[in-house]
Each structure stands twice: as structure tokens, then as C-alpha cells.
């Protein structure tokens, strides 16, 4: 067997169908690109058409199979509609990546019910509903990969974790519940835990060089993350190679969590 064939056997996503929420920006955009370049047919879902169009155009130009559907995952009806639209493009997914998320960060005293509801709806309820929609079908077909994107704030409180940290803590628990339910049928469910990654989500924090340097100093690699740092972990967790990895929180954080 050539090394190329061996690597394909482990990691190729040829003939797989993937849906990536938040696939038009930051970490989700990098994961969309990684899965598509590894062979999957990928549908990116988000609200804004322009960034979706750009993301997919770049992949199509590289000869990948990719598409986008507009969806707003901030309500149950929105999630249901987005799921049907996304599955309507290439078919029922083998891989679901829940990456869309918000972090509003008011001080806890000022955190009202609207912020709580908006955070839980997008960061926790949408991944739950999408899991309910696609998980059983994956289990029936005997293969599936569900990948959530969590946060350091699921594990420790800092920079006003508020509702966000709670939503991400619960998201990691959701991955374990899903793993318990569906792993016996070939569906692994895991969470990727980023450190501080320079993306539009962090625009305010990223514009403060002192805070950026302090966060980089908390890693072991000496730098903050970039979206492309998630490509390898995403391909691994989406591939056959990760068949025996389930219910896990995989830290991709330059050592931030262990420093
Ligand atoms: N950056 C970090 O340091 C960091 C650290 C830890 C965890 N994370 C997590 O990583 C994930 C991605 O973050 P990022 O930094 O890459 O953020 P980002 O660049 O702001 O991307 C967020 C994505 O989610 C989409 N989105 C937002 N609201 C949506 C909605 N209601 N319905 C559908 N899509 C929606 C956005 O597109 P539209 O706005 O067009 O809808 C965009 O594609 C999030 O879950 C975040 O919590 C990030």
C-alpha cells in the first residue's frame, strides 16, 4: 500500500456529506474548507449571504464540492428550516459540525433574559435540535460524525463568561449524551475546544494589543490561535480514523488549558 493510499484509508472524506453551521467565518470557515479539501461535499450554513458566497466560491475554484444555504439558527423554526434546506443540497449528512456561536459578554449583573435566551438558543439549542434531526439517521446508516465547537469558558470563568460559558459547558455535556446514544451505531460525537482565536467574534478583544499579548502568553506555544489551526482536528474527527474517539473534548488551544 502506498503512503497516499494509507492516508486516504484513514482520513479521506470522499463520498461524505457534511453540514457546517457558522461555515462562513472564522473557525467554521476554516473547517468548511478543510472538510471540502479532504473530499467531502460540504454545505455551509449562516445568515449572511455575502460571506457564504465568498467561502464557497473559493472552494469551488479549487475543485471542491461545496454549497451554502442561508439559515438563522437563533430560533427553533429557523433551525428546522435550515436543516431541511442544508440536507436538500447534497442529501442527509454524514458529518455535522456545530460551529455557529455568539458571545455577548455583558457583566453578569447586567446579563438579562434576552442575552441568556439568545445565547442558549444559538450555542446550545441549535446543536441539540440539529443532532435530533440528523443523529438518528446517521445511526441507522451506521456512520456519523458530530463535532461541536466549545470554548475554554466551558471549563473556567474569565473575560466575563456569563451565559456563554454556561452554554458551552452544556454543549460538551450534550456531546457526551449524544455519544452515549449513538456511538454503538458508528456515530461519534465530540467537541473541539479552542483557545483564543483571532476571528470576527473577538473583534473587540483583538483590537487591544495588551489583552492579545496577555492571552498569547497564557499558551505554551506563545501565540494565539488562527482559524486554520482547526483544519487537522476537524478532518481527524470527521474521518474513519477517529472511530474510537467519542464523547471527548479535544483541546486545540496551544496548551492554554494546561499552562
Ligand atoms: N474565536 C475564538 O477565540 C473562539 C474561542 C472559543 C470558542 N469559539 C467558538 O467557535 C465558534 C466559531 O467562532 P468564530 O470565532 O469563528 O466566530 P465568527 O468568526 O464570528 O463566526 C461565527 C459564525 O456563526 C454564524 N452565525 C452567527 N449567528 C448565527 C445565527 N443566528 N444563525 C446561523 N449562523 C450564525 C456567522 O455567520 P452570520 O453572522 O452571517 O450568520 C459566522 O459564520 C463559536 O461557537 C465560538 O463560540 C471561538
- Domain containing residue 100: CATH number: 3.40.50.720
Nearest CA to ligand 1 atom 16: 26
Question: Average pLDDT for residues 161-188, to the nearest whole number?
Answer: 98
> Has residue 210 been placed in a domain?
no
Residue 129's pLDDT is 99
C-alpha 77/C-alpha 65 separation (Å) is 28
CB-ligand 1 contact for 122 (6 Å cutoff)? yes
Q: Which atom of ligand 1 is nearest to the CA of 227?
A: 16
Ligand 1 center from residue 22 Cα (angstroms): 5
> Has residue 255 been placed in a domain?
no
> Has residue 125 been placed in a domain?
yes
Active-site entry in 68, 134, 164, 182: 164
CB-ligand 1 contact for 146 (6 Å cutoff)? no
Range of the domain at 48: 3-200+228-249
What is the maximum span of the chain, computed from C-alpha positions, in angstroms? 61
Ligand 1 center from residue 141 Cα (angstroms): 30
> Has residue 257 been placed in a domain?
no
CB-ligand 1 contact for 127 (6 Å cutoff)? no
> Has residue 218 been placed in a domain?
no
Residue 205's pLDDT is 82
> Has residue 256 been placed in a domain?
no
Residue 202's pLDDT is 86
Ligand 1 center from residue 140 Cα (angstroms): 30
pLDDT score of 111 more than 90: yes
48-74 core/surface letters (b: 16 or more CB in 10 A; e: else): eeebbeebbeebeeeebbbbbbebbbb
Query: What is the grid cell recorded at 81?
Result: 428550516
What DSSP designation does 75 have?
S
Q: How confident is the model at residue 251 (pLDDT cuts 50, 70, 90)?
A: very high
Per-residue pLDDT tens for 47-94? 999 999 999 999 999 999 999 999 999 999 999 999 999 999 999 999
pLDDT score of 245 more than 90: yes
CB-ligand 1 contact for 224 (6 Å cutoff)? no
CB-ligand 1 contact for 102 (6 Å cutoff)? yes
pLDDT score of 144 more than 90: yes
Ligand 1 center from residue 120 Cα (angstroms): 14
> Has residue 206 been placed in a domain?
no
92-106, 202-216, 232-246: least confident range: 202-216
Total tally of structural domains belonging to the chain:
1
pLDDT score of 252 more than 90: yes
> Has residue 216 been placed in a domain?
no
Question: Average pLDDT for residues 145-158, to the nearest whole number?
Answer: 97
Amino acid at each position: 500500500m502506498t503512503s497516499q493510499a494509507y492516508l486516504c484509508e484513514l482520513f479521506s472524506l470522499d463520498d461524505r456529506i457534511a453540514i457546517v453551521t457558522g461555515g462562513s467565518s472564522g473557525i467554521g470557515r476554516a473547517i468548511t474548507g478543510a472538510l471540502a479539501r479532504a473530499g467531502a461535499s460540504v454545505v455551509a450554513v449562516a445568515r449572511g449571504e455575502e460571506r457564504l458566497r465568498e467561502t464557497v466560491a473559493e472552494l469551488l475554484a479549487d475543485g471542491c464540492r461545496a454549497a451554502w444555504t442561508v439559515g438563522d439558527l437563533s430560533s427553533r423554526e429557523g433551525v428546522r428550516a435550515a436543516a431541511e434546506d442544508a440536507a436538500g443540497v447534497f442529501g442527509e449528512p454524514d458529518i455535522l459540525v456545530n460551529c455557529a456561536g455568539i458571545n455577548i459578554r455583558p457583566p453578569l449583573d447586567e446579563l438579562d433574559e434576552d442575552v441568556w435566551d439568545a445565547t442558549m438558543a444559538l450555542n446550545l439549542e441549535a446543536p441539540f435540535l440539529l443532532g435530533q434531526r440528523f443523529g438518528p439517521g446517521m445511526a441507522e446508516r451506521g456512520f456519523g460524525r458530530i463535532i461541536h465547537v466549545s470554548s475554554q469558558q466551558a471549563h473556567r470563568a474569565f473575560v466575563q463568561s456569563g451565559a456563554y460559558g454556561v452554554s458551552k459547558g452544556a454543549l460538551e455535556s450534550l456531546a457526551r449524551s449524544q455519544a452515549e446514544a449513538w456511538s454503538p451505531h458508528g456515530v461519534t460525537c465530540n467537541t473541539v475546544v479552542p483557545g483564543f482565536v483571532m476571528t470576527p467574534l473577538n473583534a473587540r478583544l483583538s483590537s487591544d494589543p495588551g489583552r492579545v499579548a496577555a492571552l498569547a502568553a497564557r499558551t505554551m506555544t506563545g501565540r494565539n490561535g488562527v482559524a486554520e489551526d482547526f483544519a487537522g482536528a476537524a478532518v481527524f474527527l470527521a474521518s474513519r480514523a477517529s472511530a474510537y474517539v467519542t464523547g471527548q473534548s479535544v483541546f486545540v488551544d496551544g496548551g492554554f488549558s494546561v499552562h
